[in-house]
C-alpha cells in the first residue's frame, strides 16, 4: 500500500552531505518526493512509496551519512495524493 510521509530531521544535518545521502537512498528504494534544507537548520524529507520502503528510508534518515549527527526525527503521515514524479534535492 502506498502512503506519504513528511520527516523533519534535526541535528548536524546541513553541510554534511545529508541531502545527497537521502537522495541516493530514495532512488535505490524507488521512492518519490524531495529532500530540502530548512532555514532553521533542519532537513525536511517528503516521500511517497510502499510501506516497507518508506520504513527503510526512515531508518536510513535516523542514521544519516558518517559526517551527520541526527539528534531527532519527527514524522507526519499524510493522505496519499498519488505519484509525485521522481525524487529530487531542493535548495
Q: Residues 5-62: pLDDT tens digits?
A: 999 999 999 999 999 999 999 999 999 999 999 999 999 999 999 999 999 999 999 9
Please give the positions annotated as active site. 19, 37
| Whole-prediction pTM | 0.94
Q: Is the pLDDT of residue 82 over 90?
A: no
- At residue 90 the predicted structure's pLDDT band, cuts being 50, 70 and 90, is very high
Predicted pLDDT of residue 86: 94
Cα(83)–Cα(85) distance, integer angstroms: 6
56: which residues sit within 8 A by CB, 6+ positions away? 25, 29
CATH code for the structural domain at 2-90: 3.30.70.100
Sequence spans of domains, the chain: 2-90
Q: Is the pLDDT of residue 91 over 90?
A: no
Amino acid at each position: 500500500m502506498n502512503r506519504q510521509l513528511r520527516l523533519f530531521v534535526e541535528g548536524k544535518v546541513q553541510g554534511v552531505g545529508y541531502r545527497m545521502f537521502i537522495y541516493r537512498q530514495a532512488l535505490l528504494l524507488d521512492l518519490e518526493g524531495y529532500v530540502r534544507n530548512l532555514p532553521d537548520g533542519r532537513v525536511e524529507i517528503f516521500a511517497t512509496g510502499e510501506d516497507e520502503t518508506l520504513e527503510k528510508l526512515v531508518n536510513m534518515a535516523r542514521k544519516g551519512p558518517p559526517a551527520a549527527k541526527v539528534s531527532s526525527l519527527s514524522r507526519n503521515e499524510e493522505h496519499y495524493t498519488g505519484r509525485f514524479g521522481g525524487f529530487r534535492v531542493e535548495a
